[in-house]
Amino acid sequence: MKTKKNIHFEFSQDLVREPLLYKINRSFDVVVNIRGASVTDLGGFIALELEGEQAEIDRVIQYLHSQGVTFGERLGGPER
């Protein structure tokens, strides 16, 4: 059963040049909708809506954690 989840994460200067969204699109079976973003040479944040099977969305979140991103509040409420 497909579901949608909004996530918001921040990343440091070390990750600015990493192709995180490209890797998500290529490695996971989810639809990625960018809801907002701000990126500078010093770091940034991205707000995404992910659509797919819950297990696959969980894999995306685990991947992002493993890359060192910091999760903030998701759109519409606190992150689970």
Residue by residue, pLDDT tens for the chain (80 residues) are 899 999 999 999 999 999 999 999 999 999 999 999 999 999 999 999 999 999 999 999 999 999 999 997 544 444 44
pLDDT for res 77:
42
Residue 77 lies in a domain: no
Structural domain count, the chain: 1
Q: State the CATH number of the domain containing residue 9.
A: 3.30.70.380
The whole-number pLDDT of residue 80 equals: 42
Q: Residue 58 and residue 43: Cα distance in Å, rounded?
A: 24
Nearest-5° Cα angle at 8, 59 to 19: 65
Q: Look at residue 73 in the predicted model and tell me its pLDDT.
A: 54
Q: Report the first-to-last Cα separation within the chain, whole angstroms.
A: 19
Report pLDDT for 40.
Answer: 92
Edge-to-edge strand list for the sheet holding 31-40: 31-40, 43-53, 2-12, 70-71
Give the separation between CA 55 and CA 15, rounded to whole angstroms.
25
Residue 78 lies in a domain: no
Predicted confidence at residue 72, as pLDDT, reads 78
Its domain, for residue 8, covers 2-71
Contact present, 60 and 24 (Cβ < 8 Å): yes
